[in-house]
Structure 1
Amino acid sequence: MKITTVGLDLAKSVFHVVCFDASHHEVGKRMLRRSEVMKYFSHLEPCRVAMEACAGAHYWGRELQRLGHRVKLIAPQFVKPYVQGNKNDYNDARAIAEAATRPAMRAVSIKSVEQQDIQALHRLRAQRIKERTALCNQLRALVAEYGLVMNKGVASVRRAVPQLLEDAENGLSTLFRGLLKRGYDQLVELEGHIDFYTGQIEQTSRQDERCRRLQAVPGFGPIVASVFVGQVGDGKAFRRGRDVSAALGLVPRQHSSGGKEVLLGISKKGDGYLRSLLVHGARSVVLHAKAKDDKLSQWINRLCERRGINKTAVALANKLARMGWALLRNDTKYCPA
């Protein structure tokens, strides 16, 4: 029987494959070691290979596409309802293949190496920022136990710690001064890492023509443009701008029944990092719109009077996502009205 669909359950070392024919009858299954995966699929005729969009999926998707297979990545939450029987790797592979045959099943676009490079830059930078925030909060809390108070904010901690170390009359012990100095050195090191990653992101944004076009849109800076390109790519994975907003969780949740439409707050699905950057960029545009008179600013000011600053910022973030998709999908430049 000719194999038309393959469900591939990914792992670090051991992979499980279940094969189906055109009638979706199971015609074979096999366990593969990592070194055997490419050899196995190179002997198969080109077919549909379905995988969960998990760690390593984009790498294997690119490799299998080079062999001529049609790769479909599916979000794990959409695969779970198709699992039958007990939890095991073969049943997971069967569920992946079953989900892939559904005509309306949405697929995750396979990221290129460049997109994954950009994503790695942002993930490392975001993690260092979290560590810096945690370290500052920890230093403030430790100093407070000695009756000394530091104001909130990284800049405040950066200024206050050297002053505390130089003050010999504040009651800090020799041991704690050494610990505080060590924490301050760690803070300086973290800021060096953050500056490095930020510089790399700004450099890639300057070199990427798509990022330069996005930065002409209000609310898009080098960081927002970089991560937007890394997530959306050329925009061809989405049919329309609203699909991008929905993928980023910037559209209302729906809880309707009995013909009664009920819309709630935004769904907050998808990449929360990019969504937060878009909202922060939109908030900056909203705050500066009061002194402007262009059509976008007029729309912002009218909406702000009716709905408030926060809802206006989210609505503008939705609009920015659609505008960014249009520029990437149609390969055009931003022309303010």
Structure 2
Amino acid sequence: MRYALAGLLFATAPFGAEAQEATFTTGLATEINPGLFDCGPGTRASAVGEIKSDDGTVWTVPAATNYGTAPFATDLFNECGGDRLDSLAELDLDSVPIMDAGGSEQFTAYVFADNYFELYVNGTLIAVDPVPFTKFNSNVVRFTADRPVTLAIMMADWEENLGLGSEDNRGKAFHPGDGGLVAHIQDANGATVAITDDSWRAQTFYTSPLNDRGCLVVDGHSRDSSACSQEGVDDATGYSAAHWAVPSDWMMPSFDDSIWPAAVTFSNETVGVNNKKAFTNFEDIFDTPGANADFIWSSNLVLDNLVLLRKTAD
């Protein structure tokens, strides 16, 4: 089944879908949008593309999004025309809009995403990242909900080489980038409700670039690209991408995420945020003593480009 979202076409899986084999595309996608957002000179364009797989399915890369149709998360640090706070102490929390995810209890989520996120709470989309690619930014989102709170986050590691999960970087025309998400969710009293750690579930839906399809190991709901090369190249002729259809109910509290692998944690150093003010200005909330949030992703921080994350907190 395919349907349109925010003007883009992408594949979805029906309710109760069994484990899927990968569907493959080869080469570059066709650009359908030159950029969701323009941050000016020296930044990378958040372009969107479409590509047809071997079985005829049309895929949107790096992701079909709700950018431009859903509310933007409030800035903590945004060099692309937004607020740039020096610390959490400068945040006027009362000025942050409260999004309605049902219920009456108030919560606050602090988020740093590499690159783009969409946040669902109890099945309701409440905020999206205002900066899809670069420069790196961080955000705060307030919302009302009832417990248990199901947090579902779509993460996309953006790309310049559409369909091949890579960018011109480190002296190579096709260099795969990496992703990562760190978040801390608190209640109205400032008590921790959830932090990103290995108790979350993470599933991959787009992996690229692949210089050899045989390196990808799919076993049930495990989609393991750890044996695939992460080396940047100047010629990606013949390189592939693997895609899986996104379940249409993946964000709902009723979705059974026990079939997904556990999220894998990564250090601040591995993700490379120690020189990014969007993170370091707010280490007191992301690396809170006693509630130190980890960066999380699927098992492959570099090649897995569209990752869905879930956690239900009491």
Fold shared, TM-score > 0.5 on shorter chain: no
Structure with more relative contact order (C-alpha pairs < 8 Å, separation 6 or more): 2
Larger gyration radius, structure 1 or structure 2: 1
Which structure is higher in strand share?
2
